[in-house]
Structure 1
Amino acid sequence: MRMRTCVSSMAAGSSMEWLKSVKGVILDMCGVLYDSGEGGGQAIHGSIEAVKRLMDSGLIVRFCTNETQNTREKFVQKLRAMGFDISVSHVFSPAPALVRILRERRLRPHLLVHDDLMPEFDDVDTSSPNCVVIGDAADKFSYQNLNEAFRVLIGLEKPLLFSLGQGRYYKETDGLKLDVGVFMKALEYACDVQAEVVGKPSADFFQTVLNDMSLQPHEAVMIGDDLLNDVGGAQRCGMKGIQVRTGKYRPSDEKHPSVRADGYVDDLAAATDAILTNH
């Protein structure tokens, strides 16, 4: 019964022949593997077994997240406690990628990020800031903190703003929450500057994951709950994208005027059925 459900949920009129050439799968995490919330959140039904099936199939599996409320190590610890068998080296998140950029360009950031993410920047010089970095700072997105970031940015001769992702909202167990993209847009508007996004949907971010997998874009599929950042970002890189109807998914996503997923499925378990049946 699940297989018939999965097949019928693929994009209307589309062929599933492309799944036969898939050699790797990139998984979004929040909203696909689990829903976040108090106590660390909870695994989405069937997702733990689905990840194991993908890994056991011989496909190359990587995890691509815009999670910026924790270091990558602590984030993986949380997921392992839920029952996922995930290696830190297989998880790609924005903060480590940004730290490399800051070092390469000799930049000193003013940080507006979550307290639990601060250890990622322990070795970064933050004196006399010449750029601003924002992530999902949650309750730290106060007027005072946003205004401080604004003052640093507007005071620079060449304002430089980095955003760890550009999501509009995400889902926790108690409902939807505003994401970093909302506050990024506020600073862009106030300072007449365009942020450099590190994380999804950045093409460079997706390409880093593909390079680690040693795959070409057409050989990989992205599975996510965010139509624009997960699916749309992957498609712009030449990958296929499947949207799950969990996490931040909204029924209106399937009628979006400019982005259409290559498949819509109920959850990661259904996506896994489709991939392994056609692989």
Structure 2
Amino acid sequence: MADTGWPGCAKSLKGVILDLCGVLYDSGEGDGVAITGSIEAVKKLKASDLQLRFCTNETQATRDKFVAKLQRLGFDICVSEVFPPAPAAIAVLKERRLRPHLLVHDGLLPEFDSVDKTNPNCVIIGDAAEHFSYQNLNEAFRVLIGLEKPVLFSLGQGRYYKETDGLKLDVGVYMKALEYACDLKAEVIGKPSTTFFQSVLNDMGLQPHEALMIGDDLLNDVGGAQHCGMKGVQVRTGKYRPSDEMHPTVTADGTVDNLAQAVDMILNQRGQ
């Protein structure tokens, strides 16, 4: 009988999905810093018979610029392998003929150049970092409260993330503020959305049970992947907290020290 637990499940895997920030690197001043062993771990996965994709809630830069940063850090990675929320959000806007008011980081704005933003009938919120001022949040609130049918999209719903100088509040905190103020529920585009994970699986041509997610965020990476039908493994880097291993509702299929250890365990199980 096939072993469905971690790491035995690695024998039957066909693909691996990696989070980026907190797994491959820690963001911060300049390009940030690669996490020890992660550059080599990505090389090993690419040399194996497994498909590899990167699933991120990064919204402080366009996909092209974000990938260029990772390449400068030393990672073998290309744009087509990376799935951030913004391109998925643009597809939703065009499909539903929505015109957004944007509360996002300046670095992400070029991603929305092709989108009509006149007379907004929805709001998109991303990790705006220092742009999360009272004035900017209030402006987004006024757009929403003035709509007959307010629509709020959140590019992810993370609580916090780790940079080189410490933990930082993430978009989910501000999403909750707008939800509360406007008495509505945001539509999340990005992790932990099942639709978002499924889009990555579709690109790989795989079923959920054939893929494994590795991330530092217990709820959005691991929990989101498990809800979609995948296995989820948490690394003890990035935003990991020891309390994650005793969480009341989400239990990772495995917990490892870092990406390098996870990859070695996967490849050892596969005899590679």
Contact 2:218 2:250 in 1 (8 A): yes
Q: Percent identity?
A: 76
Classify the secondary structure of the residue corresponding to 1:258: coil
Q: What is the aligned partner in structure 1 of residue 49 from structure 2?
A: 58
Equivalent residue letter for 1:103: K
Distance 1:94 1:19 in 2: 28
Q: What is the aligned partner in structure 1 of residue 108 from structure 2?
A: 117
Distance 1:15 1:202, change over 3 A: closer
Work out which of the residue numbers 235, 239, 244 in structure 2 matches 1:248: 239
Equivalent residue letter for 2:21: C
Q: What is the aligned partner in structure 1 of residue 10 from structure 2?
A: 19
Residues 184-219 of structure 1 deviation map (CA, whole Å, 9 limit, x = unaligned): 000000000000000000000000000000111000
> Aligned pair 1:137/2:128, yes or no?
yes
Work out which of the residue numbers 146, 153, 166 in structure 1 matches 2:144: 153
> Aligned pair 1:42/2:33, yes or no?
yes
**Any stretches of 5+ residues in structure 1 without a counterpart?**
1-13
Q: What is the aligned partner in structure 2 of residue 3 from structure 1?
A: none
Equivalent residue letter for 1:179: D
Contact 2:7 2:266 in 1 (8 A): no
1:16, CA displacement in angstroms?
3.0
Q: What is the aligned partner in structure 2 of residue 171 from structure 1?
A: 162
> Aligned pair 1:83/2:91, yes or no?
no
Q: What is the aligned partner in structure 2 of residue 106 from structure 1?
A: 97
Equivalent residue letter for 2:218: L
Work out which of the residue numbers 148, 153, 163 in structure 2 matches 1:162: 153
Distance 1:137 1:17 in 2: 40
Classify the secondary structure of the residue corresponding to 2:30: helix
Q: Please list, as runs of the form range in 1=range in 2, the aligned pairs for 1:187-226 lying within 5 A after superposition.
A: 187-226=178-217
Distance 1:77 1:37 in 2: 15
> Aligned pair 1:259/2:250, yes or no?
yes
1:15, CA displacement in angstroms?
5.2
Q: What is the aligned partner in structure 1 of residue 19 from structure 2?
A: 28
Residues 20-60 of structure 1 deviation map (CA, whole Å, 9 limit, x = unaligned): 11110000000000000001101000000000000101100
Extract structure 1 runs of 4+ deviating beyond 4 A: none
Q: What is the aligned partner in structure 2 of residue 239 from structure 1?
A: 230
Equivalent residue letter for 1:172: E
Q: Structure 2-normalised TM-score?
A: 0.97
Classify the secondary structure of the residue corresponding to 1:133: strand
1:17, CA displacement in angstroms?
2.5
Distance 1:52 1:239 in 2: 23
Equivalent residue letter for 1:263: G
Classify the secondary structure of the residue corresponding to 2:149: coil
Query: What's the Cα RMSD here?
Result: 0.7
Equivalent residue letter for 2:177: A
Distance 1:59 1:18 in 2: 13
1:18, CA displacement in angstroms?
1.5
Q: Structure 1-normalised TM-score?
A: 0.95
